[in-house]
Amino acid sequence: MKKINFDLIKIIISFTLFGLSYLMPNNLKLLFLALSYIIISYEIYRKAIKKMKKGQIFDENFLMILATIGAFIINKQEESVIVILLFQIGEYLSDLAVDNSKKKITDLMDLKIDKIHLKKGKSYEDIEIKNIKIGDVFLVKPGEKIALDGKVIAGKSYVDTSYLTGEVIPKVVEKESEVLSGYINTDSLLEICATSIYETTTAQKIINSIEEAATKKAKAEKFITKFAKIYTPIIVWIAIFLTLIPTLIGLDFNTYLYRSLIFLVTSCPCALVISVPLGYFCGIGRMSHEHILVKGSNELDILDQIEIMALDKTGTLTEGVYEVVEIESSKIEKRELIKLLSYAEYYSTHPIAKTVLNLFPEKIDENKISNFKEISGYGVILQYENQRLIVGNDKLMQQENIIYKKEKKEGTVVYIARENEFLGYIVIADKLKNTAINMIKELRHIGIKEIVILSGDQKEAVKTIGEKLHVDYYKAELLPNEKVREVEKLKEKGMVAFVGDGMNDAPVLSTSNLGISMGMSGSDIAIEASSIVIMKEDLTKINEAIKIARMTKKVVKSNIVFALLTKFIILALSLLGYTTIWLAVFADVGVTLLTILNTLKIMIIKIR
């Protein structure tokens, strides 16, 4: 912000000097113009010299310098000053927009305060991560991200390191293993002793990644960078020849220098170089303002092209906590069954766990639980006191060779077994989120061709939701890898976005063309695997995201067309000698300003 205020002061001083120069007698006038020029162009010179040292001479700053020095020499000082002045106003506006976007992103990240399960004696307490000190011991549940670097002191589990290392095969960590913040626990509980503290906030990391994301730059941006690299030197050489050749054959040097200066000013690619990246930045900023986190400009491009939406059911289309509609327990008392279920689900982050724990008001004694393991898409297995508990769906019962009776109920059936003995089941009913129906309607309205549900839940539960929402089709009882297979099939028909929340969605979120996750309730592993995170429990935000992406693309495209078109027309005119330097100034900085103003509308236009 400081720098931005300083820029504004420079603009005002330079502009005042420029205005005053008109009131001055001739010799003083030149002094005022020179001062105005130096104040406003100093920064451009500094940038150009810095680039020259790196061996990159030809860029828009260089063109600008060449043209304005030339204009000074041939007595067009006012024009020279106005070019730089307008250019700096453009840069100022664009800095302002970038700053605004960054602030929006930071605000958004502050919404999600990272909590950590700190070990206190024999139990755990959820505290804010910034209060953790080196040496503190914390617990990481399956599906959660390891928030700080540390050393494992208890537990053995598979961790997913792919977001840091790109290595896709999960790594086993156990006592004494070093772990890094950003690893994701996929399997069992881990107790970790912190060896680092929370310094750089996640928000800062994300902002950095958006800023740097050179590798993730959108196609349009890459094109502009390449374009400027080849284009600028060509322009400089043409300008040199345009002055030299006519002079050598005896024509008037000043006339041709003037023409080539016009040519130089006109051909600055400023409008493109500034407005294209700015467009993406404003798009990302606008998304943040609407509680949508986008991890890069490329993601924004892809979102604009999405044709097919695949949706997860539990936790995505339905609420995070449901109602228990039936409890069936023939061997033990119902109260005892609920107690066992609650102990079993205590460490799980799945919506089922939250629901079950709501039924059990007593305090859980963590010492009674050991060897907790969560199997994505199946359920949980653990040791309770000295008995083995198995809680999950029918697939889990089959896998563990439990003799049970399969129930066909409207809802999700959660079975429980102790050792090899089947104890009973509960049925839970999900509730559709109240924004789900509107989201589907709007998705159709804005032209999404196909909408499907891919769920890990049981057929009956998925059928109810699928029919209520009128999706094209729904598939149930899918394991994580089967979700991937389904999406691969959809990808043959077009660009597919997958929306999910759970641990079982992580693989499919990263293999679809675009992963979207529900940030407030979703598991860390799903959030990491996705490109877009919705930071509000409102599904229609997905429609908003698509609309913002489309608007951004439209603005970027129209800026490119407008800038190139004006440029070519005026270039052609100047080659023929039909332009004045004022027209050239318009073609360059005028167009730049107009494209910037056009871009700023991304921040304010109504999208609902």
Phi-psi category of residue 494: left, alpha or beta, with phi > 0 → left and psi -120 to 50 → alpha:
left
> 563 touches which of ligand ADP, Mg ion, none (CB within 5 to 8 A by kind)?
none
Give exposure, 218-234, as e/b (b: 16+ Cβ within 10 Å).
Answer: bebbeebeebbeebbee
Q: Residue 422 Cβ, how far from ligand ADP at the closest point, in Å?
A: 15
The nearer residue to ligand ADP, 224 or 509, going by C-beta atoms, is 509
Cα–Cα distance list, 311 to 118, 343, 608 (Å)? 34, 31, 22
1: CB partners within 8 A, 6+ apart: 99
The nearer residue to ligand ADP, 32 or 498, going by C-beta atoms, is 498
Rounded Cα–Cα distance for residues 421 and 425 (Å): 12
Question: Is 348 a residue that touches ligand ADP (CB under 6 A)?
Answer: yes
The nearer residue to ligand ADP, 290 or 319, going by C-beta atoms, is 319
344: CB partners within 8 A, 6+ apart: 380, 382, 384, 389, 391, 416
Rounded Cα–Cα distance for residues 325 and 126 (Å): 30
Give residue number: closest CB to Mg ion.
502
**For ligand ADP, which stretch binds (CB under 6 A), given 80-88, 147-155, 306-314, 466-474?**
306-314
Considering only 314, 512, 531, 559, the residue that binds Mg ion (CB under 5 A) is 314
Q: Residue 431 Cβ, how far from Mg ion at the closest point, in Å?
A: 14
Distance of CA 15 to the CA centre of its chain: 39
Rounded Cα–Cα distance for residues 176 and 191 (Å): 11
Considering only 269, 279, 466, 502, the residue that binds ligand ADP (CB under 6 A) is 502
Question: Is 160 a residue that touches ligand ADP (CB under 6 A)?
Answer: no
Distance of CA 250 to the CA centre of its chain: 60
Q: Which residue, among 415, 402, 430, has the nearest Cα to 328 in the 3D structure?
A: 415
DSSP lists the bridge partners of residue 424 as: 329, 416
Question: Is 314 a residue that touches ligand ADP (CB under 6 A)?
Answer: yes
# residues contacting ligand ADP (CB under 6 A): 23
Rounded Cα–Cα distance for residues 495 and 172 (Å): 35
Burial of 190 (0-12, 13-18, 19+ CB in 10 A): buried
Looking at residues 351 to 410 of the shown chain, list those that interact with ligand ADP (rule: CB under 6 A).
352-353, 377-380, 391-393
The nearer residue to Mg ion, 315 or 466, going by C-beta atoms, is 315
Decide if 59 is catalytic. no
DSSP secondary structure code for residue 274 in this structure:
H
Give residue number: closest CB to ligand ADP.
456
Q: Which of the following is catalytic: 136, 312, 501, 538?
A: 312
Question: Is 143 a residue that touches Mg ion (CB under 5 A)?
Answer: no
Rounded Cα–Cα distance for residues 64 and 350 (Å): 59
The nearer residue to Mg ion, 160 or 501, going by C-beta atoms, is 501
Looking at residues 469 to 528 of the shown chain, list those that interact with Mg ion (rule: CB under 5 A).
501-502
Question: Is 277 a residue that touches ligand ADP (CB under 6 A)?
Answer: no
Q: Residue 596 Cβ, how far from ligand ADP at the closest point, in Å?
A: 44
**For ligand ADP, which stretch binds (CB under 6 A), given 32-40, 50-58, 349-357, 544-552?**
349-357
Looking at residues 406 to 435 of the shown chain, list those that interact with ligand ADP (rule: CB under 6 A).
412, 414
DSSP lists the bridge partners of residue 391 as: 380, 416
List contacts with ligand ADP (CB under 6 A): 312-315, 345, 348, 350, 352-353, 377-380, 391-393, 412, 414, 455-457, 502, 504
List contacts with Mg ion (CB under 5 A): 312, 314-315, 501-502
Q: Which active-site residues does the annotation give? A: 312
